[in-house]
């Protein structure tokens, strides 16, 4: 089981707020959202945003604003 953290990326650093949900996310639920495409594991932004409890628009916005904090192969 996992607890999901909501990350609010700010200029002064990263603030992480732990979210406690009554229903935790199980490993099989997460694995079901990971696809194998061209020998690479891929997860849709909408599924990743759902795990973090934000909209995909907000997730993509934060990734674009903080590209240096993400691995080069984080998105394509």
Q: Map out the domains of the chain as residue ranges.
A: 4-69
Query: What pTM did the predictor assign?
Result: 0.60
Quick check: 7 and 15 in contact, CB under 8 A? yes
Q: What is the pLDDT of residue 70?
A: 82
pLDDT in tens, 15-60: 444 454 445 778 898 999 999 999 889 999 999 998 888 999 999 9
Q: What is the pLDDT of residue 61?
A: 93
Q: Which residue has better confidence, 22 or 74?
A: 74
SS (H, E, C) the chain: CECEEEEEEECCEEEEEEECCCCCECHHHHHCCEEEECCEEEECHHHHHHHHCCCHHHHHHHHHHCHHHCCCCCCC
Q: What is the pLDDT of residue 11?
A: 46
């Amino acid at each position: 089981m996992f607890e999901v953290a909501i990350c609010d990326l700010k200029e002064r650093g990263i603030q992480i707020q732990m979210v406690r949900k009554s229903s935790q996310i199980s490993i099989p639920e997460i694995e079901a959202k990971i696809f194998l495409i061209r020998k690479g594991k891929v997860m849709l932004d909408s599924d990743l945003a759902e795990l973090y409890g934000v909209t995909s628009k907000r997730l993509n916005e934060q990734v674009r604003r903080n590209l240096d904090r993400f691995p080069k192969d984080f998105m394509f």
